[in-house]
């Protein structure tokens, strides 16, 4: 490998050029890139003054790469088979990880950096990760994987990814050291342009923002003095900074009481096998004997509760007009009683990917099953969706923003800061002065660039869905820069030692 400012690299699964920007900042020269997404290619070429002719195209069709020092690849996280025909590099092309490993073995660069989602190190993917590392060793490399949070290395984003770093030279591999996380973290407030000293400032052409310095204490994503720096909109969890639908909708104190009654008891095993079970009227009465059917119906009308058919019995024997799914559901129990919990946890039905609710509804329409028990659950049961289009709202004082993803999220930033005094006043002030006043927004394109470590003038498409997909699929530039610098340092130490 050449000295710093003289090395070369190739950029596979290039996206918009996160690897290229990071290694280019270290003085590296890109000899070519591989990308198939048209938006990404156009963005890459525009920002780096690159010709589309230097795009190698679909990695599955690349036969040979030019000689280079470092190979980079942000391998997509699609599901893939680890079963090569005989672990031969020429035998299992067509799957993206295998194609990447084939080109590594063919080109034999001095070092490489591969990036993937954190799920690669999950226990369920243990065999897959072991396979990748074995293939890397078979290609003649010494490698190790690292789980890295971008927040630790220069961006205010909670982005955990797996990086595999490898060397052909054992001495260089032994010399490579991952730098310690930075002591001084870049904060979200800095990205938004906020100074925490009550000075009047303007963030990215938006409304005036105010901030106040508070002593951080590690709790959730970000917190100050024991209070979260963001508010979570969710009916299934509870906390000092959780906003529920009954906090937003016009509800009585009694209705709020019934909502908390369901919230506090729905995860108890007494009411079912799942991690979250609907409760029937008799269950509510066991908890509070004064609960009436009319009160539950009123919460359904408000669309806070939803009724769920829970237990079914047979009304007649099935004729010969059953679908495979209907037959599987009918034979999933040894008794003439079908409970939704049992069906949803039935392994055979899960493996067959049978939609239990739709299948039971079909059997009910055919008059084969009838509902014997109704229960009630919250209408909003998708945690990541949030409530009314909002998942989380982060205050300007927050240290960190959640992972940017290609599909965008329902996460927002507040246009002003509030200082917590006590739980009730904190929530009340937030609801009144930020949420109800509409004092929040999604992050801007410039802020998204900074949260990934790109410059604010990085050119991206105008449409939010397009630029969010591109920036969400990218790597964090400072993390790759840190890894690249550590690779070059390991090389130079060994080279100087030999000299």
Active site residues: 77
Q: How many CB atoms neighbour CB 160 within 10 A?
A: 16
Nearest in space to 386 (alpha carbons), one of 290, 242, 171, 267: 242
Q: What phi and psi, each to the nearest 5 degrees, are found at residue 414? A: -80, 155
- How is residue 290 written in tokens? 């004064």
DSSP string of 117-159, one letter each residue: EGGGGSGGGHHHHHHHHHHHHHTT-EEEEEEEEGGGGT-SEE-
DSSP string of 158-183, one letter each residue: E-EEEEEEEESSHHHHHH--PPPPPS
Helix axis angle for 38-48 and 18-25, nearest 10°, is 20
E strand spans, 387-460: 392-394, 401-402, 411-414, 440-441
Both ends of the chain: CA-CA distance in Å? 14
Look-up of token digits 């270290």 = 26
Q: What phi and psi, each to the nearest 5 degrees, are found at residue 251? A: -130, 155
SS3 category, 439:
coil
Is residue 110 within 8 Å of residue 70, measured between CB atoms? yes
Nearest in space to 27 (alpha carbons), one of 8, 11, 45, 10: 8
Q: H helices then E strands: how many in the chain? A: 18, 20
Helix (H) or strand (E) holding 472, with range, is: helix 464-472
112 - beta bridge partners?
A: 71, 166
SS3 category, 337:
strand
In angstroms, how far is CA 283 from the centroid of its own chain? 36
**Phi-psi group of 59: left, alpha or beta (phi > 0 → left; psi -120 to 50 → alpha; rest → beta):** alpha
User: What is the C-alpha separation between 49 and 91, in angstroms, rounded?
Assistant: 37
User: What is the C-alpha separation between 230 and 240, in angstroms, rounded?
Assistant: 10
- Helix, strand, coil percentages (3-state) for the chain, rounded to 5, are 40, 20, 45
Residues 6+ apart with CB under 8 A from 385: 391, 410
């Amino acid at each position: 490998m050449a000295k710093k400012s003289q090395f070369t690299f190739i950029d596979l699964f290039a996206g918009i050029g996160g690897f290229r920007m990071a290694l280019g900042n270290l003085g590296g020269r890109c000899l070519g890139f591989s990308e198939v997404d048209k938006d990404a290619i156009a963005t890459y070429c525009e920002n780096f003054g690159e010709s589309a002719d230097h795009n190698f195209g679909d990695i599955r069709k690349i036969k040979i790469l030019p000689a280079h020092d470092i190979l980079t690849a942000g391998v997509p996280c699609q599901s893939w088979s680890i079963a090569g025909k005989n672990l031969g590099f020429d035998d299992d092309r067509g799957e993206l990880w295998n194609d990447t490993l084939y080109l590594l073995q063919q080109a034999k660069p001095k070092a490489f950096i591969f990036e993937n989602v954190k799920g690669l190190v999950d226990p369920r993917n243990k065999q897959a990760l072991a396979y990748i590392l074995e293939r890397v060793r078979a290609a003649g490399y010494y490698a190790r994987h690292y789980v890295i949070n971008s927040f630790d290395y220069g961006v205010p984003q909670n982005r955990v990814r797996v990086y595999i770093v490898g060397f052909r030279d054992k001495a260089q591999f032994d010399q490579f050291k991952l730098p310690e996380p930075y002591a001084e973290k870049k904060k979200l407030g800095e990205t938004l342009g906020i100074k925490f000293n009550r000075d009047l400032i303007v963030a990215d052409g938006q409304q005036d923002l105010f901030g106040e310095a508070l002593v951080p204490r590690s709790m959730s994503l970000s917190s100050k003095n024991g209070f979260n720096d963001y508010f979570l909109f969710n009916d299934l969890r509870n906390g000092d900074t959780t906003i529920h639908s009954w906090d937003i909708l016009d509800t009585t104190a009694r209705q709020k009481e019934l909502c908390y009654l369901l919230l506090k008891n729905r995860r108890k095993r007494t009411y079912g096998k799942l991690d979250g079970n609907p409760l029937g009227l008799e269950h509510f009465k066991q908890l509070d004997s004064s609960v009436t059917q009319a009160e539950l119906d009123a919460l359904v009308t408000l669309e806070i509760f939803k009724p769920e058919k829970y237990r079914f019995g047979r009304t007649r024997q099935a004729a010969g007009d059953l679908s495979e799914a209907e037959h599987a559901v009918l034979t999933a129990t040894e008794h003439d009683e079908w409970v939704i919990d049992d069906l949803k946890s039935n392994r055979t039905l899960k493996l067959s990917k049978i939609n239990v609710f739709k299948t039971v509804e079909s059997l009910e329409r055919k008059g084969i099953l009838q509902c014997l028990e109704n229960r009630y659950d919250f209408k909003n049961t998708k945690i990541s969706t949030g409530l009314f289009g909002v998942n989380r709202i982060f205050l300007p004082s927050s240290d960190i923003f959640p992972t940017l993803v290609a599909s965008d999220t329902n996460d927002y930033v507040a246009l002003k800061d509030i200082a917590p005094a006590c739980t009730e006043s904190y929530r009340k002030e937030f609801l009144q002065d930020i949420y109800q006043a509409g004092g929040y927004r999604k992050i801007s394109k410039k802020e998204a660039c900074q949260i990934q470590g790109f410059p604010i003038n990085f050119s991206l498409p105008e449409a939010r869905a397009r630029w969010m997909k591109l920036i969400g699929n990218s790597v964090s530039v400072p993390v790759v820069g840190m890894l690249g610098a550590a690779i070059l340092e390991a090389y130079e130490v060994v080279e100087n030692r030999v000299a």
